[in-house]
Amino acid sequence: MAQARKLAILCALSMTVAQGAVAQHLPDTVTTDVLRVCGDPGNMPFSERKEDGFENKIAAIIADELKMKVRYYWLTQGPGFVRNTLGTGLCDIIMGQAFGSDLVQTTNPYYRSTYVLVTRAGEFDGVTGLDDQRLKGKKIGVVAGTPPVNRMGDLGLITLMKAYPPYALDPQRKFQTVSAEVIGDLAAKEIDAAVLWGPAAGWLAKQSGTPMSVVPLLKEPERPPMAYRIAMGVRIGENDWKRILNNALRKRSADIEKVLREFDVPLLDQDENKLQAPGER
């Protein structure tokens, strides 16, 4: 009994020392006892108030590595999200930021993914690029303002293109996100195909109840880019905090990859437009 008590005290002491070591290197603006995350409360498969999105699970992995608990500040994604969360000091990290973003300082990327072509299973077998002639004259859903729109314009695919506004403003909307609405319309046969960001499309297609094919667009030109590295965002100038997160990302990369694959995120090699094999880094 005495030995067990001694072990418990040593464990508690080691956690306190670990947290103290992290705290010594954190900027004054970063909270040292919890991992404060800026999150969207209704943006599956990325995040949700119930914390069951893949970004929620990755945040929990990082918090575990840092011996902290997670605390969320919730705000719906849209214009001003960074300014009203990270910028006001309400939280210390934003998940899922494009690497090299101008609005934040980014950590090392923890995955790379691409836009995908989504179709009902069996209808466009063998189509791997937007220049395939079988897509001509088809009604293709896409989120307005995203890179595929420019590519579709170059290929003459905009005549019947259905562009969905990037932010759903109707509080009575049927779907939680715009991407979910696109997949819902594809399942209902209101559109023939969709071009969406892969990390959203893979999970949403599986949840739709309609068999769908999700094909990563690996053969498109470099401009406009279809593939992006995804990192965490911190305030500009918080270099020590970024290094702490980079270290945690490196140590827990296998756990992070497992979560991403569970959510059907298309994972690309960091340098080439080819799918990443499991466990390959």
The CA distance from 37 to 27, in Å, is 16
Q: Can you say how many angstroms the Cα of residue 179 is from the centroid of all Cα atoms in its chain? A: 13
User: How do residues 12-62 score in pLDDT, each as one tens digit?
Assistant: 434 433 444 444 455 566 888 899 999 999 999 999 999 999 999 999 999
Q: What is the pLDDT at residue 27?
A: 55
Neighbour tally for 13: CB within 10 Å: 10
In angstroms, the first-to-last Cα distance of the chain is 45
User: How do residues 155-196 score in pLDDT, each as one tens digit?
Assistant: 999 999 999 998 765 666 788 999 999 999 999 999 999 999
Residue 68 and residue 23 in contact, taking contact as beta carbons nearer than 8 Å = no
Q: What is the pLDDT at residue 172?
A: 66
The CA distance from 202 to 54, in Å, is 12
Neighbour tally for 278: CB within 10 Å: 10
pTM of the model: 0.87
User: How do residues 217-269 score in pLDDT, each as one tens digit?
Assistant: 999 999 999 999 999 999 999 999 999 999 999 999 999 999 999 999 999 99
User: How do residues 55-107 score in pLDDT, each as one tens digit?
Assistant: 999 999 999 999 999 999 999 988 899 999 999 999 999 999 999 888 899 99
The CA distance from 173 to 192, in Å, is 22
Q: What is the pLDDT at residue 270?
A: 87
Q: Please work out, in degrees rounded to the nearest 5, the angle formed at the alpha carbon of residue 42 by the alpha carbons of 40 and 44.
A: 100
Is 17 exposed, middle or buried, given 0-12, 13-18 or 19+ CB atoms closer than 10 A?
Answer: exposed
